[in-house]
Amino acid sequence: MEKQGWDREKDHSLLECYDLDTGKREVLKEFPYLIEAPNWSPDGSFLLYNSRGKLYRFDLFTRESSELFTGFAANCNNDHVLSLDGKFVALSHGTKEDGNSRVYTVPLTGGAPRLITPMGPSYLHGCSPDGKTLAYCAQRGGEFDIYTIPVEGGEEQRLTDAPGLNDGPEYDRTGEWIWFNSVRSGLMQAWRMKADGSGQEQVTFDEDKNTWFPHVSPDGKWVVMLSYRKGDLKPDEHLPHKQVELRLMPASGGEVKRLFSLFGGQGTINVNSWSPDSRKFAFVSYRLPEE
């Protein structure tokens, strides 16, 4: 979910990837402005990110960016997902009428946006492997919960009803599970549930961290997530300009391993950014230029 109200005009963005085999970070490119939330394309050839309200493709061979035409949807936030078949991009765009985020789809080749969620605010996070269903966080009746909706549009289905923020829903590649994060146990923790909302279970049990956006690798073996130190913000806040950690855990459960810390938070790894071979994931770190 995108949080507004932060002046980030001075942010310099480092688009990076992490290699699980070598344990090393690689800076792919530095941008003298804000970029956020890379997705890795299903064919492995490019990363998709948002910047200044628009979406861009970053070619991994040439290391150059090109704008993805999204028509009137020019107020995109950092909630966007590529369909597994590579045919469309689902995105969240703040509408002119009321400023609320709503979910749209656009062909991956670019084109006119198609409205999927008439109600707002709605913040996209997941697309089912078969490309038929979208999962998102939405505020309805004053509560933020997780919903799904057919990609062709239709009636939305509410999957969570626990008090507090439930956010970041994302399908695994089997389509059986949706991973998400929730504050229902006090601190923000990683959770998962069946695709129909049943069997909701807590996955992380941190006492000193707030953990956001569990992203499952394509091979189903690993989950990477972002964590803030307890006390740096409220459990339901996902803010920029913080020292955060990226952590890794087996998807089957087990010890959560700290990979590294970085200056980031909002925009670092909002969406699934695993490479198709599950060997790497992309993320964004930030730095502020010296005054």
**Chain segment 33-52, per-residue pLDDT in tens:** 999 999 999 999 999 999 99
pLDDT of residue 1: 60
Contact 178, 161 (CB under 8 A): no
The conformational region for residue 218 under phi > 0 = left, psi -120 to 50 = alpha, else beta, is alpha
- Non-local (6+) Cβ contacts of 226 within 8 A are 211, 212, 213, 244, 245, 246, 247, 264, 265, 268, 269
What distance in Å separates the CA atoms of residue 200 and residue 194, rounded to the nearest whole number?
Answer: 7
What distance in Å separates the CA atoms of residue 57 and residue 39, rounded to the nearest whole number?
Answer: 9
* Residue 141 clears pLDDT 70, i.e. is over it: yes
Q: What is the pLDDT of residues 110-119, one digit of tens each?
A: 999 999 999 9
pLDDT of residue 95: 92
Could you identify the residue written with the tokens 């601190």? 187
What distance in Å separates the CA atoms of residue 117 and residue 123, rounded to the nearest whole number?
Answer: 10
* Domain at 69-246, CATH class: mainly beta
* Residue 4 clears pLDDT 50, i.e. is over it: no
Q: What is the pLDDT of residues 105-140, one digit of tens each?
A: 999 999 999 999 999 999 999 999 999 999 999 999
